[in-house]
Amino acid sequence: MRTLVILAVLIAAGCSNGGPDWNTRSGGAPLVIAHRGASGDLPEHTLEAYALAIEQGADVIEPDLVVTADGVLVVRHDPFLSASTNVAEVEEFANRRREVNGRSDWWVFDFTAEELGRLRATQPQPNRDQSFNGQYRIPTFEEFLTFIDEAEADCDCVIPIEPEVKWPEQFAAMGLDPLPIFNQTLLDFGLFDADAPVVVQSFDAGFLIRMNAVTPLTLAMLYSSPDEPGYDMNGYPLDAVAQFADGLGANKALLLNPNGSSTGLLEQAHALGLDVHVWTVRDDREPHVGETVEDELRALYALGVDAVFTDYPATAVRVRDDM
């Protein structure tokens, strides 16, 4: 088990703004993680959304990763493409639509990276601004890391990243195992060591166990709310998670009761040496606690979460700074 914990990595990178008497594991200020970039304002997982998140003061950037037919990691949340790209409008790809697991769609594993490069991103949330649809490219993981390098040069700072590897075992079953591709890419960018400002997250305990055996990187196990369809904790209680991961990425409903009291999960995780990164706070959704998103953020910060995933980094930064 690594002695270097998630928040210590990021503080060492110089990306925490500090602050007195926080209830985080380190005692420092909680981090703001840009969930898919500034995805409340711009189409998610685009270089433009990441750039806006940095401008808004986010401490950490989160890319989700899936694998193309030719074994390239690209930055998308879902393996299907219709929700976040203009693929349905591209005539040359009309015949690529097919049914997988009961869903008729276009699938990332049926496209090469070059083909995906011809698509453009769209805003998947219908209630959000659609005026930027069709303007921005679908970046590869390498393009994302190059962007981070360039942004760091511009700000003369370190910008930590928290990639989530999506569908790892399903991709591996197709002969597209993301693990070696992911590790080699980070190695190529000089990010494959225990001091790298990288946290690798996944809902798949088996993937994290495989990662733990071959990588020095910091790992985080994602936990979902019991009412979230499609996810579970894979039968791994916290003490088992602490054997192969360094942190917990928890749904906010697992940390706070609706009345704002603690469920006890954060305290248990901290006692086991696990940092807690909570997801996802959104300005345009009903808060789990309180009347406003600001109420929810204040409750999470007061509880002692070590980081908050948000689609709207500017709001999370403002509330943290006000506290």
**Pair 119, 86: CB distance under 8 Å:** yes
CA distances from 128 to 198, 311, 316 (A): 30, 11, 18
* SS3 at position 138: coil
Residue 184 lies in a domain: yes
Residue 127 lies in a domain: no
235: alpha, beta or left, given left = phi > 0 and alpha = psi -120 to 50? left
Element (H, E) at 183: helix 178-188
Q: Which pLDDT tens digits describe the chain residue by residue (323 residues)?
A: 443 344 444 444 444 444 458 999 999 999 999 999 999 999 999 999 999 999 999 999 999 999 999 999 999 999 999 999 999 999 999 999 999 999 999 999 999 999 999 999 999 999 999 999 999 999 999 999 999 999 999 999 999 999 999 999 999 999 999 999 999 999 999 999 999 999 999 999 999 999 999 999 999 999 986 665 444 455 688 999 999 999 999 999 999 999 999 999 999 999 999 999 999 999 999 999 999 999 999 999 999 999 999 999 999 999 999 99
Residue 88 lies in a domain: no
User: Regarding beta strands 307-310 and 275-281, do their DSSP bridges make them parallel or antiparallel, or are they unpaired?
Assistant: parallel
Q: Residue 237: what pLDDT?
A: 84
Residue 91 lies in a domain: no
* SS3 at position 110: helix
Q: For the domain that residue 23 is a member of, what is the CATH number?
A: 3.20.20.190
Q: Which residues contact 151 (CB under 8 A, 6 or more apart)?
A: 50, 51, 54, 159
Short-list 75, 106, 79, 108, CA closest to 93: 106
Residues acting as catalytic residues: 35, 77
CA distances from 316 to 28, 54, 164, 280 (A): 16, 13, 21, 11
Residue 76 lies in a domain: yes
Host domain of residue 218: 6-80+138-322
In the block, residue with structure tokens 């976040």: 84
- In the chain, the number of structural domains is 1
Q: Residue 215: what pLDDT?
A: 95
Residue 106 lies in a domain: no
Q: Residue 241: what pLDDT?
A: 93
**Pair 173, 92: CB distance under 8 Å:** no
